Chains A and B, each alone.
Chain A
Amino acid sequence: MSNVTVTPGRSAQTPLTPGRDDRDGRRQRRPRKPINTQFRTAVSPHQLNTTHGRIIYWIVLVIVVVSFTAAFVFPLYWMITGAMKSTEELNSIPPTFLPEHFSLDGYAQAWDLLELGRLLGNTALYAGGAWLLTLAFDVSAAYALSKLRPVLGKVVLALMLSTLMIPPLVIMLPAYLTVKDVPFFHWDLLNTPWAIWLPAAANGFNVFLLKRFFDSIPRELLEAAEIDGASPGRILWSVVMPISRPILGVVSILTVVNVWRDFVWPLLVLPDSDKMSISIGIASLSSQMPQNVLVASLVIASIPTIVVFFIFQRHIMAGLTAGSLKG
């Protein structure tokens, strides 16, 4: 592999060179479209575009695409079609890969029986509120800890991080008692969205991620704004927030997915069946329904998070890059 020497003329192919001219130039020389080497990675672009390299590349690509599809998409296919099978067909051996009868009854039944529409609406309300509140509280907290550096700031951060060490099940009961009767205020938050929103904002990992990102923002940028007479709030809103969009994307998806998937906590604080979130709705009734209806409801429940991820994929990837850069 390493015997391939760097030939002159290709040295112009640095990643900084605009890809288009480069590719056009090569296209004239070679009839086949070369593999795009705009991003330099561990594999050498020169090796990649030799005949040998191309063959290996395409073999690897096909293997990866096929195995990923098998590992991650096939299960989804199995679920979607599983919901169309009868209980007996679901248990048949060998399993059928196509349902005997194409029917959406399972889905319709799941939608009606569980009132999935209402459950989805509730969950969207919980996730949306938790998202707004988390952004508002955690962003400003992280900003204060990173840029305003108050007395005891490190202690506060350490205490926030310590919450990651406790299995949520352990503090569930005391947390529930707090929600039932908030100390000093004596509010009863049970069956209100606040019971989901407020605890969701107490997320040490989010604060940590945001703080690490803010730490990397050059001080000069903020100082310039400060000299212009901007207040800390103003700086946060018009300087910090715009350049933090990637990490905000990450925190957003984490928050939304967490609320969407959480199960034990909403079971406790939203006992009223009109207020249930989708994961409890399904879980609490799962032992009382035919398997195909259960599978159908699981499919329906998965769609919203998948759609959200699909739409924001680019932002999330950008956010992860930015977040991981800072470690």
Chain B
Amino acid sequence: MTTASIPVANRRRRQPTKLRRAVRRNLTAYGFLCGALICFAFFSWYPMVRQVILSFQKTNFVDAPEWVGLKNFRTVFSDPAFAPAWINTAMFTLLALLCGYVIPFITALILNELRHARAYLRFVVYLPVMLPPAVGVLLFQWFYNPDYGLFNQVLSFFHLPGLQWLNSTSTALISLVIVSTWMNMGSGTLIYLAALQTIPSELYEAAELDGAGLFKRIRHITIPQTKLILLVMLLLQIVATMQVFIEPYLLTGGGPENSTVTVVYLMYQYAFNFGSLNAGNALGLMLMLVLMVFSAIYLRISRDNTV
């Protein structure tokens, strides 16, 4: 061995080790990933791809499927309920944000100030989340009944005129939003509450020394300190509420006069009641693309804020 060859050998040895380590790290990583990857591949990704394919086909599951290009998209596009479905979905999402987003935050703010009955309050606010959706629906069917429901009885107690709730085009959608908020606000409240408890107390104290009042403190400390979680929840909620289905399906059947037909409800009608699964898939694909846009925003935000 000559002295000159040592650095070469060294260099040679170092390179393979680096590579080998990278390979080993990757192999280990995919070893850890493989369980989840198999589950995702079989039960999410592969069905997703097949769903995309189905939306360009016509099939009755007996004969060979037939490629029909954009026909399914044209079918749903020309449906008279198509436009109302998207408008209702957008309205529902907007209203659900106003209710289902603001109310849990305010609730969390108040709960955070209370020093008594905390465990009890946390528990009850989460109760509806754990009940089967059918429970909420049964309950609200009774509450909303215009003739003898609880809500109208309460209104008449205060000498206010009763409302038609689910039975009027003007109030049906907001009634669904109320049910949805009631059923789902528990998780939001608990998440906000948890976030509020992580705000360092020094910040409040400093603000107080500066003479900031209660509302100023909320505006300048509480909200900025929880901005990230508020944003994340906002987007998650948009993605979730745009898929609203169970409330109109169980409570209004899309009526009255199509005022509560949502995109997923229409999709359900196509796929299962109209026997046109392909058209339902096409509609699902459209919704998926819209949701992707929101998620792209979401991913961007969460990436910018990675620790």
A and B touch in the complex (CB under 8 A): yes
Residues of A within 8 A of B (CB): 1-2, 6, 14-15, 35-37, 39-44, 57, 60-61, 64-65, 68-69, 71-73, 75-76, 78-79, 93-95, 136-138, 140-141, 143-145, 148-151, 153, 156, 158-167, 169-171, 173-175, 177-179, 182-183, 198-199, 201-202, 204, 207, 212, 215-216, 232-233, 236, 257, 260-261, 263, 279, 282-283, 286, 294-295, 298, 301-302, 305-306, 309-310, 313, 316-317, 320-321, 323-327
Contacts of B198 in A (CB 8 A): 321, 324-325
Given that A40-B201, A324-B198 are contacting pairs, would A68 and B33 also be in contact in the complex, using a CB cutoff of 8 Å? no
| Nearest-CB residue, chain B, relative to A37 | B115
Per the bound structure, the CA–CA distance linking A145 and B287 in Å amounts to: 29
Q: Would you give the shortest CB distance from A216 to chain B, in whole angstroms? A: 5
Q: B161-197 toward A: CB 8 Å interface, digit per residue (1/0)? A: 0000000000000000000001000000011111111
In the assembled complex, B158 has its CB within 8 A of some CB on chain A: no
**Contact in complex: B205, A40 (CB < 8 Å):** yes
Per the bound structure, the CA–CA distance linking A93 and B159 in Å amounts to: 19
Chain A interface SS verdict (over half):
helix
Contacts of A6 in B (CB 8 A): 208-209
In the assembled complex, B29 has its CB within 8 A of some CB on chain A: yes
In the assembled complex, B288 has its CB within 8 A of some CB on chain A: yes
Q: B269-307 toward A: CB 8 Å interface, digit per residue (1/0)? A: 001000001001100110110011001000100100111
Contacts of A136 in B (CB 8 A): 35
Contacts of A39 in B (CB 8 A): 197, 201
New contact pairs (6) apart from A44-B208, A166-B288, CB-CB < 8 Å = A150-B25, A156-B37, A159-B45, A183-B46, A215-B306, A302-B132
Contacts of B45 in A (CB 8 A): 159, 163
Q: Which among B30, B110, B299 has the greatest number of chain A C-beta atoms within 10 A?
A: B30
Given that A42-B218, A178-B47, A199-B43 are contacting pairs, would A95 and B148 also be in contact in the complex, using a CB cutoff of 8 Å? yes
**Contact in complex: A178, B132 (CB < 8 Å):** no
| Nearest-CB residue, chain B, relative to A179 | B43
Contacts of B217 in A (CB 8 A): 42
Contacts of A326 in B (CB 8 A): 307
Residues of B within 8 A of A (CB): 25-26, 28-33, 35-37, 39-40, 42-48, 50-51, 54, 109-117, 119-135, 138-139, 142, 147-148, 150, 153, 182, 190-198, 201, 204-205, 208-209, 211-214, 217-218, 221-222, 228-229, 232, 239, 243, 245, 264, 267-268, 271, 277, 280-281, 284-285, 287-288, 291-292, 295, 299, 302, 305-307
Contact of B307 among A2, A199, A216, A306 (CB under 8 A): A216
**Contact in complex: A166, B32 (CB < 8 Å):** no
Given that A169-B268, A170-B281, A171-B44 are contacting pairs, would A41 and B113 also be in contact in the complex, using a CB cutoff of 8 Å? yes
Q: Would you give the shortest CB distance from A288 to chain B, in whole angstroms? A: 14
**Contact in complex: B239, A78 (CB < 8 Å):** no
Contact of B211 among A2, A159, A183, A321 (CB under 8 A): A2
Contacts of A170 in B (CB 8 A): 51, 267, 280-281, 284-285, 287-288
Can you identify 28 A-B contacts, CB atoms within 8 angstroms?
Answer: A6-B208, A35-B115, A42-B204, A44-B214, A64-B110, A72-B125, A72-B127, A76-B127, A78-B142, A137-B36, A138-B36, A145-B33, A148-B25, A150-B26, A166-B284, A169-B267, A170-B285, A170-B287, A173-B51, A178-B46, A204-B40, A257-B130, A282-B132, A298-B131, A317-B194, A320-B190, A324-B192, A325-B198
Per the bound structure, the CA–CA distance linking A148 and B28 in Å amounts to: 8
Per the bound structure, the CA–CA distance linking A94 and B268 in Å amounts to: 37
Contact of A171 among B35, B47, B111, B190 (CB under 8 A): B47
Per the bound structure, the CA–CA distance linking A40 and B31 in Å amounts to: 46
**Contact in complex: A64, B114 (CB < 8 Å):** yes
Contacts of A60 in B (CB 8 A): 110, 113-114
**Contact in complex: B42, A182 (CB < 8 Å):** yes
**Contact in complex: A298, B204 (CB < 8 Å):** no
Contacts of B295 in A (CB 8 A): 161-162, 164-165
**Contact in complex: A159, B40 (CB < 8 Å):** yes
Q: Would you give the shortest CB distance from B241 to chain A, in whole angstroms? A: 12
Per the bound structure, the CA–CA distance linking A159 and B39 in Å amounts to: 13
Contact of B117 among A36, A61, A169, A177 (CB under 8 A): A61
Per the bound structure, the CA–CA distance linking A164 and B116 in Å amounts to: 38
Contact of B139 among A44, A75, A141, A173 (CB under 8 A): A75
| Nearest-CB residue, chain B, relative to A321 | B194
**Contact in complex: A140, B125 (CB < 8 Å):** no
Q: Would you give the shortest CB distance from B201 to chain A, in whole angstroms? A: 3
**Contact in complex: A69, B124 (CB < 8 Å):** yes
Contacts of A327 in B (CB 8 A): 228-229, 232, 302, 305
**Contact in complex: A198, B43 (CB < 8 Å):** yes
**Contact in complex: B54, A174 (CB < 8 Å):** yes
**Contact in complex: B134, A166 (CB < 8 Å):** no
Contacts of A183 in B (CB 8 A): 42, 46
Per the bound structure, the CA–CA distance linking A244 and B288 in Å amounts to: 33
Contacts of B182 in A (CB 8 A): 71
Given that A2-B213, A64-B121 are contacting pairs, would A169 and B305 also be in contact in the complex, using a CB cutoff of 8 Å? no
**Contact in complex: A15, B201 (CB < 8 Å):** yes
Top 5 A-B residue pairs of the complex, sorted by shortest distance between their CB atoms: A40-B201, A170-B284, A150-B29, A141-B36, A174-B47
Given that A41-B204, A161-B299 are contacting pairs, would A167 and B148 also be in contact in the complex, using a CB cutoff of 8 Å? no
**Contact in complex: A201, B197 (CB < 8 Å):** no
Contacts of A149 in B (CB 8 A): 25, 29
Per the bound structure, the CA–CA distance linking A298 and B192 in Å amounts to: 29
Given that A64-B111, A302-B130 are contacting pairs, would A317 and B33 also be in contact in the complex, using a CB cutoff of 8 Å? no
Contact of A151 among B26, B28, B138, B288 (CB under 8 A): B26
Contacts of B302 in A (CB 8 A): 212, 327
**Contact in complex: B153, A150 (CB < 8 Å):** no
Per the bound structure, the CA–CA distance linking A159 and B153 in Å amounts to: 50
